[in-house]
């Protein structure tokens, strides 16, 4: 498990995308790339919004990735170009401190998150100058982790360019931490699967300590991703961090209600550990402790015996200072319920019976209902798409990733895959010209792909 990301020798001319990237690099920088790095996006099969609560998740890497061509320059600058003209060129001298502007999450700041993570890990006073051309195929802001793939790709190339070496686990942890510089308090699932993924298998990702276990998906079903074509940029909105904060407050309130010291407890999983309770017992406790109505700041302060100032500085984050109402019952209920579904999903896969596909489908449907109704992280278009997928023959369908837009993942019996794709096309994409134009990159079958790697020209 402590292995490093693979270094693969590759014949560039046999791969169209790499060949084009190499040509663009040469046209832009007047030299050939020294090496390439790539890091995949992911689809989370089950376990949504629970990684930052300390619970295990069950994603797999997808084929779509972020790929970068890199050379080390003697100019002492980091200079970036993107093959997509929507993302502007960027340049910074290595002598300057790396600053990440949370107020304006431009693409190069995600790149710099990866650079900063490696710089801090090794205490590098002066980074090597790097020239990079970045090329991405993951639909952005759609729940398939384009941002983390970019951070992981940049972390890996910075490590390589500065002649350092780290295990995949260490890289995943560094990139998870450093992506938080952009302002979202992510849990680490995306960076973990981007480094730890292996072709042909989904992974159960567990935290503290970080580890990944193979999960063999059932034969006889395929996983299909469909994008509802509503984008949601996590760093430019506060939806995501509001949920993180609600879970943090719920942690403190549950701890307080059961006579534990809430200081030092930040994640819902920690309360469970302290109480030595099962997830089922935690669900009962949530019903006992929380009322279903929203909590005001005043009520929270009173229960926790803290001042409004402490609430703002110790529990709220920079972009959640404006929040007045907190839904604690619903959020905690989702988290403990979803954590239990992940465990069941893995055991159903491991057991492999005639009922496997039906049982997994049922868990996926419950997960979507919980995300929609308790966690309120879906949106009307995504709910409509999930309904269409179920009517089109999926056994299970749910939003994947952060939500509020983006993609659904559906499990479809293999023999129904073609008719499923056609039915979803007809019902969701074809009637709307904007969606129809996006269909090719928005509706596709996906298989578990490999993790991040360094590519060297043969
Ligand atoms: P996701 O759910 O895909 O991680 P986010 O909203 O968190 O979505 O991050 C999307 C951001 O990541 C984009 O706005 C952009 O800044 C960056 N990004 C994604 N893909 C690329 C790419 N191919 N090149 C450059 N930046 C990218
Ligand atoms: P995406 O889908 O990449 O926005 C986000 C978080 C994950 C996880 C999921 C919800 C980041 C980088 N990613 O994923 O850690 O919490 O939402 O399950 O913040």
- Residue 233's pLDDT is 86
Q: Counting ligands in written order, which one lies closest to the CA of residue 241?
A: 2
Distance between CA atoms of 156 and 195, rounded to whole angstroms? 10
Cross-strand pairs, 296:
325
Indicate which residue's Cα is closest to atom 9 of ligand 1: 147
Q: How far is the CA of 81 from the centre of ligand 1 (A)?
A: 15
- Whose CA is closest to 61, among 81, 84, 38, 92? 38
Indicate which residue's Cα is closest to atom 18 of ligand 1: 147
Cα 17 to Cα 231, 309, 429, distances in angstroms: 26, 53, 27
458 within 8 A of 9, measured Cβ to Cβ: yes
235 within 8 A of 105, measured Cβ to Cβ: yes
Q: Counting ligands in written order, which one lies closest to the CA of residue 110?
A: 1
Q: Counting ligands in written order, which one lies closest to the CA of residue 137?
A: 1
Indicate which residue's Cα is closest to atom 16 of ligand 2: 49
Contact residues for 267 (Cβ-Cβ < 8 A; gap 6+): 52, 53, 54, 247, 248, 251
Distance between CA atoms of 81 and 405, rounded to whole angstroms? 28
* Radius of gyration of the chain from its Cα atoms, rounded to whole angstroms: 22
221 within 8 A of 413, measured Cβ to Cβ: yes
Q: Name the token pair of 353.
A: 């019976």
- Whose CA is closest to 336, among 239, 247, 255? 247
Cα 140 to Cα 90, 135, 391, distances in angstroms: 19, 12, 27
Please tell me the class of the 7-217+448-457 domain. alpha beta
Q: Ligand 2: which atom is nearest the Cα of residue 403?
A: 2
- Residue 446's pLDDT is 97
Q: How far is the CA of 179 from the centre of ligand 2 (A)?
A: 11
Burial class (CB in 10 A: 0-12, 13-18, 19+), 293: exposed
Give the number of residues written for the chain.
458
Burial class (CB in 10 A: 0-12, 13-18, 19+), 427: middle
Distance between CA atoms of 378 and 230, rounded to whole angstroms? 11
Strands 7-10 and 453-457: parallel
- Residue 375's pLDDT is 98
- Residue 253's pLDDT is 98
User: What is the number of other CB atoms lying within 10 angstroms of the CB of residue 208?
Assistant: 10
- Residue 200's pLDDT is 97
Distance between CA atoms of 177 and 181, rounded to whole angstroms? 8
Packing angle between helix 380-391 and helix 417-424, nearest 10 degrees?
Answer: 140
Report the Cα 317 to chain-centroid distance in Å: 20
- Residue 215's pLDDT is 98
What are the strands of the beta sheet with 443-446, ordered from one edge? Answer: 396-399, 407-413, 221-227, 443-446
Indicate which residue's Cα is closest to atom 11 of ligand 2: 186
Distance between CA atoms of 7 and 184, rounded to whole angstroms? 31
Mutate to test the pocket of ligand 1, among 140, 235, 241 (most ligand atoms within 8 A of CB): 140
Q: For residues 160, 166, 170 and 172, what is the CA-based torsion angle, rounded to 10 degrees? A: 30
52 within 8 A of 177, measured Cβ to Cβ: no
Our answer to whether residue 190 is catalytic in this structure is yes
Angle (CA) 434-436-439 rounded to 5° is 115
Q: How far is the CA of 234 from the centre of ligand 2 (A)?
A: 8
- Residue 2's pLDDT is 67
- Residue 349's pLDDT is 98
User: At 144, phi and psi to the nearest 5?
Assistant: -110, 15
- Residue 391's pLDDT is 98
Task: Write out residues with Cβ below 6 Å of ligand 1.
Answer: 66, 82, 84, 87, 107, 110, 134, 136, 138, 140-148, 150, 233-235, 401-402
- Whose CA is closest to 370, among 143, 46, 54? 46
- Residue 104's pLDDT is 87
What does pTM read for this prediction? 0.98
Q: How far is the CA of 147 from the centre of ligand 1 (A)?
A: 4
Q: How far is the CA of 138 from the centre of ligand 1 (A)?
A: 8
The catalytically annotated residue of 190, 373, 383, 432 is 190
**What digits encode the pLDDT tens for the residues 421-456?**
999 999 999 999 999 999 999 999 999 999 999 999
pLDDT tens digits in sequence order for the chain, 458 residues long: 469 999 999 999 999 999 999 999 999 999 999 999 999 999 999 999 999 999 999 999 999 999 999 999 999 999 999 999 999 999 999 999 999 998 888 999 999 999 999 999 999 999 999 999 999 999 999 999 999 999 999 999 999 999 999 999 999 999 999 999 999 999 999 999 999 999 999 999 999 999 999 999 999 999 999 999 999 888 789 999 999 999 999 999 999 999 999 999 999 999 999 999 999 999 999 999 999 999 999 999 999 999 999 999 999 999 999 999 999 999 999 999 999 999 999 999 999 999 999 999 999 999 999 999 999 999 999 999 999 999 999 999 999 999 999 999 999 999 999 999 999 999 999 999 999 999 999 999 999 999 999 999 99
Distance between CA atoms of 10 and 15, rounded to whole angstroms? 9
């Amino acid at each position: 498990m402590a292995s490093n990301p693979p270094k693969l020798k590759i014949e560039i001319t046999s791969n169209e995308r790499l060949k084009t990237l190499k040509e663009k690099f040469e046209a832009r920088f007047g030299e050939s790339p020294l090496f390439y790095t790539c890091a995949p996006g992911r689809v989370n099969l089950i376990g949504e919004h629970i990684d930052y609560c300390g619970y295990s998740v069950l994603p797999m890497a997808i084929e779509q990735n972020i790929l970068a061509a890199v050379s080390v320059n003697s100019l002492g600058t980091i200079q970036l170009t993107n093959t997509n003209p929507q993302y502007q060129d960027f340049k910074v001298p290595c002598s300057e401190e790396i600053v990440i502007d949370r107020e304006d999450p431009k693409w190069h700041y995600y790149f710099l998150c990866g650079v900063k993570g490696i710089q801090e890990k090794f205490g590098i006073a002066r980074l090597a100058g790097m020239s990079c051309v970045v090329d991405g195929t993951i639909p952005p802001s759609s729940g398939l982790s384009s941002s983390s793939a970019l951070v992981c790709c940049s972390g890996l190339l910075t490590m390589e360019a500065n002649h350092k070496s780290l295990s995949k686990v260490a890289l995943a942890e560094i990139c998870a931490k450093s992506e938080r510089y952009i302002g979202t308090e992510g849990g680490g699932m995306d960076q973990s699967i981007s480094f730890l993924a292996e072709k042909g298998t989904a992974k159960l990702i567990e935290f503290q300590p970080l580890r990944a276990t193979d999960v063999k998906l059932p034969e006889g079903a395929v996983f299909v991703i469909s994008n509802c074509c509503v984008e949601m940029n996590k760093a430019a909105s506060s939806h995501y961090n509001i949920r993180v904060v609600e879970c943090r407050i719920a942690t403190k309130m549950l701890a307080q209600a059961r006579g534990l010291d809430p200081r030092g407890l930040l994640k819902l999983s920690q309360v469970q550990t302290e109480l030595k309770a099962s997830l089922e017992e935690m669900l009962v406790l949530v019903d006992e402790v929380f009322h279903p109505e929203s909590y005001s700041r005043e009520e929270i302060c009173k229960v926790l015996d803290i001042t409004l100032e402490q609430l703002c500085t110790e529990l709220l984050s920079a972009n959640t200072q404006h929040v007045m109402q907190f839904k604690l019952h619903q959020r905690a209920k989702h988290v403990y319920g979803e954590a239990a579904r992940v465990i069941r999903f893995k055991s159903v896969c491991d057991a492999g019976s005639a009922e496997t596909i039906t049982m997994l489908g049922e868990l996926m449907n419950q997960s979507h209902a919980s995300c929609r109704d308790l966690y309120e992280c879906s949106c009307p278009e995504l709910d409509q798409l999930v309904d269409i997928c179920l009517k089109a023959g999926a056994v299970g369908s749910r939003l994947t990733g952060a939500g509020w837009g983006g993609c659904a993942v559906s499990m479809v019996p293999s023999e129904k895959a073609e008719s499923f794709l056609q039915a979803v096309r007809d019902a969701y994409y074809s009637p709307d010209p904007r969606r129809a134009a996006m269909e090719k990159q928005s509706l596709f079958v996906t298989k578990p792909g490999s993790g991040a790697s360094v590519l060297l020209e043969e």
